[in-house]
Chains A and B, each alone.
Chain A
Amino acid sequence: MTDSAIAVEGLSLTLGAFALRDVSLEVAAGEILVLLGPNGAGKSVIVETIAGFHRPRTGRIVISGRDATRLPPERRSVGLVFQNFSLFPHLSVVQNVAIGVRRDTKPTHDDMAVPLGNVPALLHYFSIAHLADRKPRDLSAGERQRASLARAFATRPDLLLFDEPFSALDAVTREQLRPDLGRIVRDAGIPTIFVTHDPIDARVLADRIAVINQGMVIQQGAAAEIFERPRDAFVAAFVGVENMLTGHVEGGSGDYARVVVADRIIHSRRSPDDWNGRRVVVCIRAENVKLHLGEPGSTNQTAGSNRLPGRIATVTNLGPLTKVIVDCGFALAAYVMSGEIRAGGFVPDAAVEAAIDAGAVHLALEA
């Protein structure tokens, strides 16, 4: 616990009909933890509790080794950035950035990437010095984001909290702002919690992800682990696993498990021994399904790979990629480069063989 900059331990609270249950999170210095979950899951409540706006019934919030559970928000040293960036509309940009700076705030040394606590240097760093006297209403979305970051950094926070900062922006603006935000936060080396319902935010920004649903942490881990090895069907669906097939485990050999899905055998990554006979959700990302036109060459499949014969059901062009749904006893989605499609052959009812590496097949619990 001591090696993480931020630790939330066993947080529980009730707000009307909503409850947080035993939420524990950890964020290391310079790390971005993304809280990912559907609307109403409790992500914002978690962030607002960490910031000090709700009193937890049980649990502890430790910020930089200091127990902050009972501190008022103004003494927790957290920077908060909301949707639309919540700049004070009656204050100019420089007034917004400077409002939280105390006279005894020591600016950081010159060698720091982001000049924390130094208002003129922050305006310069975020390229908004020329906008210092403008009101927020006269700024573009990008300028607002930079001004709100400058304001958050001006107080030298020990923790940055972002609550759906992109949710009101259009897709194009969002795509421009995302990489900037990740770079700046990492440059500053401040532990960060980023709330979103958009898996793409998580893909681009997260070092670690905590999937939240119904006020609980469903799964927490490295970003790649959440995307590749979702714990259950809820997480799998939320991180966008296209193929989720219900089956049951029937033994296995070596590194692989055997799963029966609609009378077909699919080899997957090894599952825990006690899963034998258990109903599971087979997770296969569509990009890991390779389609070969024509009847299968050999029907016998080795343990390391799956070869499933089937017929094309639908073909949908999504731009650079085309989504092909294959009927092989169950519906299986695959992506094919649209250029390959143009060469011909991928038409409904055509015979194909779907090849899936067993290492790309993950078993998850039913939700």
Chain B
Amino acid sequence: MVVRNGDPTRFSLASYRPDALLLLFWLIGSLLVGFILLPLIGLGMTQTGASLAHVARMAEVRQAIGLSVEASLITVAIAALVGVPLAYGLAYTLWPGKGIVGVIIDLPIVVPHTVSGIALLIVFGREGILGAPVGAILGLKFWGTLAGIVAAMLFVSAPYAVNAARIGFEAIDPRLQKVARTLGLGPWRTFFEITLPLARREIVIGLTLTFARSISEFGAVVIIAYYPMTAPVEIYNLFLRFGLNDAAGASVLLLIVALTLFVLFRWLAYDTGSRARGGR
């Protein structure tokens, strides 16, 4: 996930004389690159400026994409506020049981997303053990609401935020934090002035993945909230009602929005934080 072009000597062997093995592996590997790229290019080719404009004028498409972006950003914010402290705890606690917590955090990755949706609905539904009290006290309902969409997105995407931030924290030389403490910085200042800036890159990468996972989520979201429709649900809806063409148009629009935001996040991560930790 985190690509580092660390040691140039690692490459010298291969780049010295590209051998048959390396060429063959590239040949095989390029199949996968093509497999990923071709459908996306094919999708883009189906659209003209006019057809995109036509889809963009459809209020339900615009609303769906807007809702997807809104819900994804709220999810990223919650993942940051809750996931970063958890990652810190996992990185800095010497506790035998923390392996179990790590496994729990990874569960949403292996659970099929429709299953996640059903499970969430059971707990967060009107009669659910969380849904009922939260609904009664806060008036917050999850079934068919923004809150439900965010819950579904958070469930499937939070592992990415936690794991990346944890990697970031664990990569920090603990001696830096010790030096900071002896210099008179208490635990809070050490966290905000040393630890957090040094893990910034991994945290932003994790939140980028959280965002990407959230905005593309269909399975869990569609079960807890068919209405209001997020973009992936709307695209599925268009596909069923009007066929491939309209669905393709909305897909391209969603792709453009998602990729733009994705690139923006990536740029944020690599910009100033890129060489911050640097090692020696």
Contacts and interface: CB of A to CB of B under 8 A. Distances in A.
B185 A74 contact: yes
A72 B181 CA distance: 8
Main secondary structure of the interface of A (DSSP, over half): mixed
Interface residues of A, number: 33
Given A88-B194, A89-B277, A137-B278, A73 B181 contact: yes
B198 interface: yes
Interface string A103-136: 0000000000000000000000000000000011
Nearest to A141: B280
B201 to A, nearest CB: 10
B178 A89 contact: no
Interface in A252-268: none
Contacts of B185: 74, 99-100
B178 A137 contact: no
Interface in B87-117: none
B276 A52 contact: no
Interface in A55-87: 72-76, 78-84, 86
Interface residues on B, range: 20 to 34
A90 B178 contact: no
B186 to A, nearest CB: 5
A232 interface: no
B198 to A, nearest CB: 6
A342 interface: no
B29 interface: no
Nearest to B197: A90
B54 interface: no
B197 A51 contact: no
Interface in A178-194: none
B180 A88 contact: yes
B176 A88 contact: yes
B271 interface: no
A54 to B, nearest CB: 11
A99 B177 CA distance: 13
Contacts of B127: none
Contacts of B175: 82-83, 86
A48 B177 CA distance: 12
Contact of B181 (A52, A102, A136): A52
A73 B176 contact: no
A244 B177 CA distance: 44
B183 A100 contact: yes
A89 B184 contact: no
Nearest to B183: A100
Contacts of B197: 90
Contacts of B179: 80-82, 86, 88, 151
A46 to B, nearest CB: 14
B183 A99 contact: yes
Question: Considering residues A78, A135, A137, A152, which has the most beta carbons from chain B within 10 angstroms of its beta carbon?
Answer: A137
A165 to B, nearest CB: 11
B190 to A, nearest CB: 8
Interface in B121-148: none
Question: Considering residues A73, A157, A161, which has the most beta carbons from chain B within 10 angstroms of its beta carbon?
Answer: A73
A151 B183 contact: yes
Contacts of B186: 72, 74
Nearest to A73: B181
Interface string A158-198: 00010000001000000000000000000000000000000
Given A89-B198, A89-B278, A76 B183 contact: no
Interface in B171-224: 173, 175-176, 178-186, 193-194, 197-198
A81 B176 CA distance: 10
Question: Considering residues A72, A74, A136, A161, which has the most beta carbons from chain B within 10 angstroms of its beta carbon?
Answer: A74
Contacts of A48: 178
Contact of B182 (A79, A84, A168): A79
B66 to A, nearest CB: 36
A5 to B, nearest CB: 17
Contacts of B280: 84, 137, 168
A53 interface: yes
The 7 closest A-B pairs by CB, nearest first: A100-B183, A73-B181, A90-B276, A80-B182, A137-B278, A89-B278, A82-B175
25 contacts: A48-B178, A51-B181, A52-B181, A52-B182, A53-B178, A74-B181, A74-B183, A80-B182, A82-B178, A82-B179, A83-B175, A86-B173, A86-B175, A86-B176, A88-B179, A88-B180, A89-B198, A90-B273, A135-B278, A137-B278, A137-B280, A151-B179, A152-B183, A154-B183, A155-B184
Given A89-B198, A89-B277, A90-B273, 13 more contacts: A52-B181, A52-B182, A73-B178, A74-B184, A80-B182, A84-B280, A99-B183, A100-B185, A137-B278, A137-B280, A151-B179, A152-B183, A155-B183
Interface of A: 48, 51-53, 72-76, 78-84, 86, 88-90, 99-100, 102, 135-137, 151-152, 154-155, 157, 161, 168
